[in-house]
């Protein structure tokens, strides 16, 4: 079941894939936003639908049998979780949220949430807040050398999180064997904390012998 694939991709090949799939995925993100917001008339919507179905038909003639999984490069164990729901290069659902390691066990992410992430009118869906914070905390424990799957996650919502430009921060509290505890929050453009997170992450048994444990995340 685990779709860990180890390959020998060169830096050049990876750069070429990024240059191809990054802009392609961005184009689909743009279409997702337009799907929600368009005021085009019914005929125009139907025409767009037919064209999209034709594109999809071409793209799916030759495709992966299931989900993307994670590809690892044999040389350095570097992972490419390009299907990931939060930061996948090839996943239009991912905002994407690219988490940067400030120092081991401390991370920050600047990201933008558009119309597709709405819950209450004009605000980020409470579940999207937890989705982003799960990813940020997962990356935080990985950056600490202790990657893991989420064991428990608690989100405390302090105020509505606006849509638009946001920042998330994460930091490790402590770790003990295969368990690591991390905390984090989301900040509004005004610098106010809109939601806080507390998470326990556990290194799964099946991942304890991977080529490199310092992969981006498993969560």
Residues 47-106 contacting a copy of itself, CB under 8 A: 48-49, 51-53, 55-56, 58-64, 66-70, 82-86, 88, 90-93
Q: Which long-range contacts (CB under 8 A, 24 or more apart) does 182-188 make?
A: 182/137, 182/140, 182/141, 183/137, 184/107, 184/133, 184/136, 184/137, 184/140, 185/133, 186/129, 186/132, 186/133, 186/161, 188/161, 188/162
If binding means CB under 8 A, how many residues of this protein chain bind a copy of itself?
90
45 near a copy of itself (CB under 8 A): yes
At its nearest, how many Å lie between a copy of itself and the CB of residue 129? 8
Please answer whether residues 212 and 137 qualify as being in contact, where contact means their C-beta atoms are separated by less than 8 angstroms.
no
Please answer whether residues 162 and 103 qualify as being in contact, where contact means their C-beta atoms are separated by less than 8 angstroms.
no
Please answer whether residues 144 and 172 qualify as being in contact, where contact means their C-beta atoms are separated by less than 8 angstroms.
yes
At its nearest, how many Å lie between a copy of itself and the CB of residue 196? 10
CA dist 208 and 211 (Å) reads 9
40 near a copy of itself (CB under 8 A): yes
At its nearest, how many Å lie between a copy of itself and the CB of residue 58? 6
CA atoms within 13 A on the CB side of 212: 18
Please answer whether residues 212 and 76 qualify as being in contact, where contact means their C-beta atoms are separated by less than 8 angstroms.
yes
Question: In terms of CB distance, is 90 or 144 closer to a copy of itself?
Answer: 90
15 near a copy of itself (CB under 8 A): no
At its nearest, how many Å lie between a copy of itself and the CB of residue 16? 8
Question: In terms of CB distance, is 2 or 110 closer to a copy of itself?
Answer: 2
Question: In terms of CB distance, is 2 or 100 closer to a copy of itself?
Answer: 2
Residues between 170 and 189 with contacts to a copy of itself, criterion CB under 8 A? none
Q: Which one of 7, 145, 154, 189 is in contact with a copy of itself (CB under 8 A)?
A: 154
Residues between 113 and 152 with contacts to a copy of itself, criterion CB under 8 A? 114-122, 125-128, 130-135, 138, 149-152
Residues between 195 and 214 with contacts to a copy of itself, criterion CB under 8 A? 204
Give 54's strand partners. none
At its nearest, how many Å lie between a copy of itself and the CB of residue 174? 19
CA dist 11 and 154 (Å) reads 38
In the structure encoding, which two tokens stand for residue 99, read together?
């988490």
């Amino acid at each position: 079941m685990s779709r860990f694939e180890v390959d020998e991709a060169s830096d050049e090949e990876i750069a070429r894939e990024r240059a191809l799939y990054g802009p392609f995925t961005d184009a689909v993100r743009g279409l997702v936003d337009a799907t929600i917001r368009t005021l085009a008339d019914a005929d125009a919507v139907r025409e767009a639908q037919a064209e999209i179905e034709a594109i999809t038909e071409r793209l799916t003639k030759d495709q992966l049998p299931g989900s993307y999984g994670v590809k690892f490069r044999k040389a350095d164990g570097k992972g490419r979780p390009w299907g990931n729901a939060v930061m996948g290069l090839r996943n239009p659902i991912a905002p994407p949220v690219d988490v940067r390691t400030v120092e081991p066990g401390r991370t920050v992410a600047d990201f933008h949430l558009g119309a597709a992430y709405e819950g209450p009118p004009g605000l980020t869906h409470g579940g999207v807040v937890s989705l982003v914070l799960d990813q940020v905390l997962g990356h935080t424990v990985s950056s600490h050398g202790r990657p893991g799957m989420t064991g428990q996650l608690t989100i405390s919502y302090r105020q509505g999180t606006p849509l638009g430009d946001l920042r998330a921060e994460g930091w490790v509290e402590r770790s003990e064997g295969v368990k690591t505890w991390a905390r984090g929050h989301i900040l509004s453009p005004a610098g106010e904390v809109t939601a806080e997170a507390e998470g326990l992450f556990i290194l799964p048994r099946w991942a304890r012998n991977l080529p490199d444990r310092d992969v981006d995340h498993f969560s």
